Amino acid sequence: MELPKEYANSVMVLTCGSKAEGGSCDVYLIGTAHVSEESCREVEAIVSYMKPEVVFVELCASRLSILTPQAVKIASKLDVLPGAEFRVAYEEAVKYGGQVILGDRPVQITLKRTWAKMPIWHKVKFLYGLVFQAVFLPSPEELEKMLKAMNDVDMLTLVIQQMSKEFPSLMDTLVHERDKYMSCMLSRVACEHSSVVAVVGRGHLQGIKKNWDQPINMKDLLEIPKNKSVFTVKNVLKSLAVLVIGAAIVSRIYLAGRS
C-alpha cells in the first residue's frame, strides 16, 4: 500500500522475505519524537489507514503500563504523556483486531548492561548527578516550553546523546544495542506476516535500517556482564543514604548547640 504524501516522509520502508501469502513483507517504520502530539496524530492516521497484521512498538513487558489510559503523567502540565504514541498505536490496532508485539529489549537487562559497562569513576559521577543535581530540574512550565520547541526531535535519544559526552558507554547500551535487538525482532516478526507497522523513536530509525538483514547474536545482547566489583548500585545507594542521614544528624546537633 502507498501512504498519503503527508505521511510518507515520516515513514521508512524495509522489506524482507516472508512465509505469509505473497512471499514478502513490507515493514513501515514510523519514527516518533516520544513527547509529541504530532507524532501521536501520525501514528493514529497511519495505523488506521494501513491496518497492518502486526503493530510493533518500542516497549518491553516492564513498560506495558504505558499502554493503559490510567498511566500517570510525569508532569501534570504536559498535554502528552511520554510514550503516548505507543498507546495510540495499541488502541488503533485493537479497533480492527491487529496484533500488537512488544519489540524492545527488557529494560532491566538494558540498565544492568549499562551499569556493568560503566567505569567506576563514571558510576560515582553518574550517581552524584542523579542524587545531588535533581533539584535543578526544570519546572513543568519550562519543560512544556522545551518540548514544544523540540516537537520534531526524538527527545530521549537526544538526551542520551548529550549524556554520552560524559558517559560514552550510554550510547552503546541504550541506543546501538537496542537498535540491533529491535531490528532482529522486527525481522523475525516480518518473516511470519505480510504487513507490519513499527512505532519507534526517531533516533532508532537509521540504526534499525543499518542492522536490517544483518547477522545479530541475540544471546550476547541479552547477557549480563559479570561485575566482580563490590561497587554495585545497591552498595553505593546504601552509602549515600548513610552519608545523607549522617549529615542531617550532625546538622541538627550543630543547630541545637547554637540555639
- Predicted confidence (pLDDT) per residue in 216-257, tens digit: 999 999 998 876 555 555 565 555 555 555 544 445 544 555
Q: Are 191 and 19 in contact (CB under 8 A)?
A: yes
Classify residue 173 by its DSSP letter.
Answer: I
Residue 215: CB atoms within 10 Å? 6
Residue 115: predicted pLDDT: 85
Binned at pLDDT 50, 70 and 90, residue 29 comes out as very high
CA–CA separation, 118 and 85 (whole Å): 31
Alpha helices, DSSP H, located in 172-258: 177-190, 205-211, 218-222, 233-258
CA–CA separation, 22 and 223 (whole Å): 37
Nearest to 27 by CA among 200, 156, 203, 155: 200
Residue 16: predicted pLDDT: 94
Q: Are 150 and 28 in contact (CB under 8 A)?
A: no
pLDDT value at 200 more than 90: yes
Residue 43: predicted pLDDT: 94
CA–CA separation, 243 and 238 (whole Å): 9
Q: Which residues 6+ apart lie within 8 Å of 38 measured at CB?
A: 151, 152
- Predicted confidence (pLDDT) per residue in 152-182, tens digit: 555 566 667 677 777 778 889 999 999 999 9
> Would you say the pTM of this structure is higher than 0.95?
no
- Predicted confidence (pLDDT) per residue in 32-88, tens digit: 886 678 888 999 999 999 999 999 999 998 888 777 655 444 433 445 566 789 999
Nearest to 27 by CA among 6, 54, 45: 54
